[in-house]
Structure 1
Amino acid sequence: MIKFLLKLFPSSVFAVQERVSEIPTRRSVNEETESLDHGSVSNIPFQVLSWSPRVSYLPNFATKQQCEAVISMAKHMLKPSLVALRKGETAETSQNVRTSTGVFIGADEDESGLLAAIEEKIALATRIPSDYYESFNILRYQLGQKYDSHYDAFHPAEYGPQKSQRLMTFILFLSTVEDGGETMFPFENGRNMNGSYDYEKCIGLKVKPQRGDAIFFYNLFPNGTIDKTSLHGSCPVIKGEKWVATKWIRDQTYD
């Protein structure tokens, strides 16, 4: 697995721009006409937001029409989102941690081919083939809904033995949120790691949801251990509605 992970951490795949603490709200590329480009990886705009954790931002990854089509596909199937339970936890004790609604949809379930096309572009951007992907988790956050800070990788001491781990998380923002709803990383560069962090607090590196944009970040180090700075959450929506399509990418092929 180590050799596989090392291949996924190239030093200069894309032109790296200056790190910013929050994504600007105005972009130069017209999202109405930008399409899913199936050409070379170099055609995908790329910006590094942080090296600890390793977070990258892809503007205009999908068009307005594509985002709306994914929302339309999912909106009639939504159910309350669940969380993986640690040893000793119950659904009752963790019910306020994640308050969104969502649905899992596999690319093979979508007859239109849109989800397969998005997966293909994710594979180009991340350099990891779709054999390693879980199904899309399409999520909606309404007023006040959020997801407290958490890890996407599962520590065996807390969750039991794991056949594989979530190496990477890819998030496509399907809507622009007027206020709130940021994806945030409170432990960026080792900040707030003194043991007193309130896991409901929305601090640190924040990425504002903009329709069509995407981010991806690594949950593991190249040696397969969990990156503690990959802790992340979804800030409460203050105004508007947040839709995302999340793709978890494993360190082994996944059924």
Structure 2
Amino acid sequence: MNARRAAGLVLAAALLLLAPPARAQADALSDVGQRTFAQVAGCAAGADHLLVAIVVDESSSLRATDPGNRRVEAIATAVSSLAALPRAGGRLDVEANLATFGSAYTELVPWGGVEGAHADALVGAARAELPRRDRADETDYRVALRGAQQSLQQRQAALGGTSCPVLLWFTDGELDVGAATPAAAAQLCDPQGLVDGLRGARIPVVAVALFTDSGPGAVPPAAREQLRAIAEGGGDGTRCGAQPVPADAAPGAYLRAD
């Protein structure tokens, strides 16, 4: 993973939430991804809160794919980028939390604003916790999506008013729960499955793929397209969720960090 490239994509993602895409930023996104950011921008323009759940892989493959823990700086970049959004959006309140996933979903930092002490807590936890969180035996996308959806919806209910929820999801590996992997893929992508549940709840998934092409931990093209399909509805040779994606459902975006 190229840390500068990954951080740049995360920065583009955060800024695209409230600003039209510049040409270079737009080139990193598919048409579906660009529509996603446009919809989130439209939502945030009239909302009270923007809620960003940051969920980071903690699978053991990270020891091979990210031995320098460069994902930590990508998270720090995301937090600092989000901190600029309240100034751009006037009255908009921007909050984030930080969690990890492998075989379970674990919240490291609860919800709070992305400035001041809470921003320091988010970045501090990323730097202190993420380097040692690379031991999980599974990469279970289901726990990441379920955990983030539950957390976002609970925060929306607690805050009241109008909220725009977003899942910013970092993973370096393909869906892997051993012999149960095919069943897990069906639970994710069958019509009315987990992914359709997120779309119906209008929670866009921004999937940041920290994949490598070769060496230990390399992810095959089919797995890349599976992650794209989870975020955007379709990839090369694969689909996820009801097709076509309903017009009133939240689309998503797939960003490459390679």
TM above 0.5: no
Asked which structure has the greater RCO (Cα within 8 Å, sep 6+), the reply is: 1
Normalised TM-score (structure 1): 0.30
Higher helix share: 2
Normalised TM-score (structure 2): 0.30
